[in-house]
Amino acid sequence: MSMPPSSHNELRRKDLRCLWHPYTRINDFEMLEFPVIVQGSGPTLTDADGKCYLDGISSWWCAVLGHGHPRIVEAIQRQAAVLQHSILGGMSHPRAIELAERLTSLAPRGLTRAYFAGDGSSAVEAALRMAVQSFHNQGHPERKGIIALADAYHGDTLGAVGAGYLESFHAPIRHLLNRAPQAPSPHCFTCEARSRCDLRCFGGLQQLVEEYAATTAAVIVEPLVQGSAGMRIYPPDYLRRLRQLCDRHGILLIADEIAVGIGRTGRMFACDHADVVPDLLCLGKALTAGTLPLSAVLVREELFDTFRDTPRQDRTFYHGHTFCGNPIAAAAAIATLEVFEQEDILHRSIQLQHAIASAFTRFGGLACVDRCNSLGAIGVVRMREGIPAARHAARIAINLGLLIRPLGDILYLCPPLNTPEVALQSMLARFEEALESAKTVPESIGELRAIAE
């Protein structure tokens, strides 16, 4: 799609007058050119100038099936013509029922109930409250604490930030939060013993859980990949040990699979790699393949049962969101799961996973790369020259037509799982070129701008 260049500039000018962007430093944003995306098709996004970008981050991890998948678009259109919204409080609708059935049959065995929310943060918020209220309902109000990992990210609502507190981001709102104690997180990139892993990193979490067990309702983790912390990939054994530890102390385990659920790690759920069944499992992002906001908490039946009234106690879960389980979003999620099944996405993405693993192993040998790692359809490098180098390389990549975003000193690639081979090779080549070209880091925003232009 091509539009006259002036229209792109005009859109940017209007944007700068009235829009406030999330996670975006205002001064930098105002200085740098930024794409205004007008269309998406498969792994490609197109801006208002007609310039194409390969989507190397699946639009914040959502677009697992690329953009504009015809079956999902059709499901949305079909549902929009029939029923756009109907509440789930005290009522139901067929799309929510069908999606709940599908999710609970796909999920690790034992997760038999689906609770719908609107986005990742609200699913996490619900899961935290379910865990705490469950103990309260059972006569254990003292079990009200949450334990999390350092540098975790569970969303931006206050409960989620309490679990994923980061001094550099959240200091101004610290007084609003109920902060969870945080254990040192597994960090294979910096671990001295990574070649002969004995899970020494688990010790910190074990100590914290043992110290707070009597007052803790749940431990929350991002299974196998601590995403926003810098794509920290850790071994399935860590999760197994955590499941055993939680069982020993009667603590609930919340798996926040908002980023990694629905195929990203090569399995439908990251917990599947460890054969671990959490008590609560949060899904979002890829649940609708990034087409519409929808999230879910999958829950064990025993936990659900603790919310049944007793003759003397109202145990209801007084928590919900207006758009939870919206029929159009639910139809998009059903279509997403159908595409996974009918197009055998997990199996077909094996080749893509191998290509990512071998390319990122090779990138590890580049002078500018300190460490590399991969899991499923996620490839990660850490830049030797730190944050400026990562930012610089991401800018160059965008200039080369590959959309990626830096995370501190980390750069990563997580393309749609159905990215065609040619597009994937092109992404990997551009990623490598960006790394190679980022050897000298510009000193000023002016220089960065010159590169972007």
Residue numbers at the binding site for ligand PLP (CB under 6 A) = 119-121, 124, 153-155, 222, 227-228, 256, 258-259, 284
| Crossing angle of the two packed helices 421-437 and 345-363, in degrees rounded to 10 | 20
Sheet holding 52-55, edge to edge: 37-41, 44-47, 52-55, 402-403
- Backbone φ and ψ of 160, nearest 5°: -65, -40
Q: How far is the CB of 5 from ligand PLP (least distance, A)?
A: 33
CB of 96 to ligand PLP, least distance (A): 19
Q: Where are the alpha helices (DSSP H) in 164-318?
A: 167-170, 202-212, 236-249, 301-305
How far apart are CB 227 and ligand PLP at their closest, in Å?
5
- 53, 115, 153, 165: the catalytic one is 153
In the complex with ligand PLP, which residue's Cβ is closer, 72 or 124? 124
Residue 111's H or E segment, with its range, is strand 111-117
With H, G, I as helix, E, B as strand and everything else as coil, classify residue 97: helix
For the question of residue 285 being annotated catalytic, the response is yes
Residue nearer to ligand PLP on the CB measure, 126 or 427: 126
Q: Where are the alpha helices (DSSP H) in 366-418?
A: 387-399
Q: Residues of 235-246 as b/e, b for ≥16 C-beta within 10 angstroms?
A: bbebbbbbbebb
**Which residue lies nearer to ligand PLP by CB, 266 or 293?**
293
Choose, from 49, 55, 256, 279, the residue flagged as catalytic: 256
* 238 labelled catalytic: no
CB of 359 to ligand PLP, least distance (A): 24
Closest to ligand PLP by CB, 137 vs 373, is 373
Nearest 5°: the CA angle 9, 290, 115 is: 140
The least CB distance from residue 153 to ligand PLP, in Å, is 5
Angle ∠(326,329,332) on CA atoms, nearest 5? 150
Residue with Cβ nearer ligand PLP (153 or 165): 153
In a 13 Å sphere around the CA of 301, the CA atoms on its Cβ side amount to 5
Least Å distance, CB 109 to ligand PLP, is 23
Q: How far is the CB of 369 from ligand PLP (least distance, A)?
A: 24
Catalytic pick among 49, 234, 279, 285: 285
**Structure tokens that stand for 257 in this block:** 């699979």
Nearer to ligand PLP among residue 158 and residue 451 (C-beta): 158
d(CA 80, CA 95): 12
Which residues have C-beta within 8 Å of that of residue 97, sequence separation ≥ 6?
none
Are residues 254 and 218 in contact, defined by beta-carbon separation less than 8 angstroms? yes
When CB distances to ligand PLP are compared, the closest residue is: 120
| Measured distance CA(451)–CA(311) in Å, rounded | 69
For 254, residues 6+ apart whose C-beta sits below 8 A from its C-beta are 124, 127, 128, 131, 218, 219, 220, 221, 278, 279, 280, 281, 282
With respect to ligand PLP, which residue has the nearer C-beta, 48 or 255?
A: 255
User: Which are the catalytic amino acids?
Assistant: 23, 153, 256, 285
